């Protein structure tokens, strides 16, 4: 199964009391599908999966799969430090109806390339499902070189899709393509979409990110794949300020949720502690950047 296009990483809405808000989650699913995305990713980093227990993971993924109801593909985050747990998460994802899983290298002392390959191979041997290899060092604590990502793709056919979030991502995309001539490897850019056009020019096949206006990403990718690079550029550059603002380290998820609240998708923009809350200055700046973006839509 080839994954390409735009996959929106879903936030996990919570109530003001900190409980799961599954009604808001269903609205976000419908909003993103209505924007024309090719798929959705649940239980990702920006889904605040690290702040959920296993019972909540089950509720979230079951809700997403039911609400999607086959309209688009679903990728489920299944990262875990231990292989056994990673396999359990992957089996659950498949049994629930996910089309693929997304996995980062496990966090472990003195992790090396052979151990990384063994980890992905172990999952692939245990569960027959496509694997998206998430290359995001802030989560895994391990930076995968282009040659290692290509090695994984060569040795593990199920793991031939990469979510690339180790900047500079356009440069790394080019290195992966150079090291894998003739191989059909899918490469998704992440990082809020900030480098999407440049990633596509370097050989990326799409985007997998939680940007709160996925219809903009869909337009850019469609224009680029249709051969209209100038049209894609005109669709991309006016919205880079909004992407950049939304992707601020430390408060990006709070900003993204605030935008989705303003779009009528979620009832409460709170993130779970110890996540930061937005101050008046940031909210005022968001007012300006959103107003400017609306003028250019």
Q: Does any domain span residue 247?
A: no
Q: Does any domain span residue 258?
A: no
7-19: buried (b, 16+ CB within 10 Å) or exposed (e) per residue? bbbbbbbbeeeee
CATH of the domain at 69: 3.20.20.70
Q: Does any domain span residue 296?
A: no
Q: Does any domain span residue 121?
A: yes
Q: Does any domain span residue 256?
A: no
Could you tell me where the beta strands, DSSP code E, fall in the chain? 5-9, 39-42, 73-77, 100-103, 131-135, 161-164, 186-189, 206-209
Q: What is the spatial distance between Cα 66 and Cα 71, in angstroms, rounded to a whole number? A: 10
CA dist 78 → 70, 134, 198, 256 (Å): 20, 10, 29, 23
pLDDT reported for residue 132: 98
Q: What is the spatial distance between Cα 22 and Cα 294, in angstroms, rounded to a whole number? A: 28
Q: How many domains does the chain have?
A: 1
Tell me how far the alpha carbon of residue 18 is from its chain's centroid.
23
> pTM to 2 decimals?
0.94
Domain limits at 123? Answer: 5-239
For the chain, 297 residues long, give each residue's pLDDT as a single digit of tens. 789 999 999 999 999 999 999 999 999 999 999 999 999 999 999 999 999 999 999 999 999 999 999 999 999 999 999 999 999 999 999 999 999 999 999 988 888 999 999 999 999 999 999 999 999 998 888 999 999 999 999 999 999 999 999 999 999 999 999 999 999 999 999 999 999 999 999 999 999 999 999 999 999 999 999 999 999 999 999 999 999 999 998 899 999 999 999 999 999 999 998 888 899 999 999 999 999 887 556
């Amino acid at each position: 199964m080839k994954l390409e296009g735009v996959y929106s990483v879903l936030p996990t809405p919570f109530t003001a009391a900190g409980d799961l808000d599954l009604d808001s989650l269903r609205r976000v699913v419908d909003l993103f599908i209505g924007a024309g995305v090719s798929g959705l990713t649940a239980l990702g980093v920006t889904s605040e999966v690290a702040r959920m227990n296993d019972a909540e993971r089950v509720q979230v993924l079951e809700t997403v799969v039911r609400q999607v109801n086959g309209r688009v593909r679903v990728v489920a985050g299944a990262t875990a430090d231990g292989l056994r747990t990673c396999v359990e998460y992957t089996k659950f994802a498949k049994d629930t109806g996910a089309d693929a899983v997304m996995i980062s290298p496990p966090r472990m002392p003195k992790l090396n390339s052979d151990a990384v390959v063994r980890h992905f191979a172990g999952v692939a041997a245990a569960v027959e499902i496509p694997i998206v290899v998430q290359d995001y060092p802030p989560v895994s604590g391990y930076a995968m070189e282009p040659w290692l990502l290509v090695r994984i793709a060569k040795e593990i056919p199920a793991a031939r899709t990469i979510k690339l979030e180790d900047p500079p991502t356009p440069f790394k995309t080019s290195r992966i393509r150079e090291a894998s001539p003739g191989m059909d490897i899918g490469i998704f850019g992440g990082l809020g979409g900030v480098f999407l056009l440049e990633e596509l020019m370097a050989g990326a096949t799409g985007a997998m990110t939680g940007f709160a206006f996925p219809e903009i990403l869909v337009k850019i990718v469609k224009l680029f794949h249709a051969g209209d690079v100038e049209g894609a550029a005109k669709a991309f550059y006016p919205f880079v300020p909004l992407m950049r603002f939304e992707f601020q380290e430390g408060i990006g998820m709070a900003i993204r949720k605030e935008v989705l609240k303003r779009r009528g998708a979620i009832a409460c923009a709170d993130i779970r502690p110890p996540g930061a809350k937005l101050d008046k200055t940031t909210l005022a700046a968001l007012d300006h950047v959103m107003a400017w973006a609306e003028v250019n839509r």
